[in-house]
Amino acid sequence: MNTLEINPMEAEQLFLFKLSLGFVAIAVFFVVLVFTKRFIKIWRDQEKEWFLKKIVPLIGSMVIVKRNRLEWRRDIKLLVSLIGRNHAKQQIAIDHLMHLKSNLEGESAGLIFQLYRDLNLVEFSRNKLRQTNWTKQTEGVRELASMNCYFVNVFSSLLQKTKQVTLRNELIVAMTWLDKKEPFRSFRLINFELTDWLKLNIYDQLKKYNRVDLPDFSPWICHERQEVATFFIWLAKTFNQTSSSNAIAHALSGAKTVANAALDSLIEMRNFSYTQKVEAMISNHWICPDTSLLILCYLEGTDKNNFVQILIDRFRFHPYESVMQKADRLRSTYFEKENTNQILATSTYTNALHYGNAR
């Protein structure tokens, strides 16, 4: 080997050496980080436990056992002195109050809100909304919402500004409960993806309302976005809000998915006063298996004879194949019902129904 060829080899080894040094250095850095993290965590946990031990019994008895104003003021003072201006302690106190709130209702819940205000924690949570970090903002929204504190303008402007999905969802859900004037303000203000997760959380908030205070769903049933419309139709059905029946009936003439949802909820709500509208749907939607079945269900609820007549009329215009299919579905849905027998007796399409029978 001559020198020219040895050099690159040595360079390679030198490079490897440097590389391994680099790796080791980074690895050691992370190991040190692991230990510092652990140290800090253990210390924090201890602090938290120690602090909780002090405040939990006091807060518990304040929420449960009646106090006169003087005693209340005395205990608040004591708590304020325990918490001080320490952010970590304030956070622990809020977390504990929120935890209690998630399990308690009625007078005790009122006392929890009172505590939250008297300990000046409202300001602490509001400050979080002013930060740029979206996780902090979300926390702030959550805290204010669970303590029933609402600031229309702050929430609305945050909702319109943010691009962070988690924060946006938090705001939408919070406003559903907090905004007694216009619970669905967020639907008006912005356009957002209505995921199942969001629906579930909105529903959860609506559950907290008394039946009489429940917001009116009808304006939203006519919403141009189909998923919004179907969601509100579903809500009307689930909460059995009869006052939105008209809006639902109106939705029958809408797009297919909306119409289906509307039909389904009318059936579920046992509201059979829109026969004409439903019959009018037949000309547009009869081809679609889901819709035609829903139509049949609905009409069956109204008037038996009418139902059979429509069925026979309709079958006349259909190709043999689809008649068979429909008969099949009818068999499975109305099995052993007198109507089916009636159809069997009167229908000219005995073949088709035989097919249904054979299944």
Q: Can you give the binding site for another protein, defined by CB under 8 A?
A: 1, 5, 9, 12-13, 16-17, 19-21, 23-24, 26-28, 30-31, 33-35, 37-38, 41, 56-57, 60-61, 63-65, 96, 99-109, 135, 138-139, 142, 166, 170, 195-197, 199-201, 203-204, 207, 234, 238
- Smallest gap from residue 167 Cβ to another protein (A): 10
Whose Cβ is closer to another protein: residue 108's or residue 350's? 108
- Smallest gap from residue 338 Cβ to another protein (A): 25
- Smallest gap from residue 342 Cβ to another protein (A): 28
Tell me the C-alpha to C-alpha distance, in Å, between residue 134 and each of 31, 39, 56, 123, 196: 29, 27, 30, 18, 22
Nearest 5°: the CA angle 246, 250, 251 is 120
Q: What is the C-alpha separation between 289 and 256, in angstroms, rounded?
A: 12
Q: What is the C-alpha separation between 90 and 88, in angstroms, rounded?
A: 5
- Smallest gap from residue 118 Cβ to another protein (A): 19
Tell me the C-alpha to C-alpha distance, in Å, between residue 147 and each of 64, 78, 117, 142: 17, 21, 9, 9
- Smallest gap from residue 260 Cβ to another protein (A): 16
Whose Cβ is closer to another protein: residue 38's or residue 188's? 38
Mapping DSSP onto H, E and C, the string for 237-264 reads: HHCCCHHHHHHHHHHCCCCHHHHHHHHH
Whose Cβ is closer to another protein: residue 170's or residue 300's? 170
DSSP 3-state assignment of 120? Answer: coil
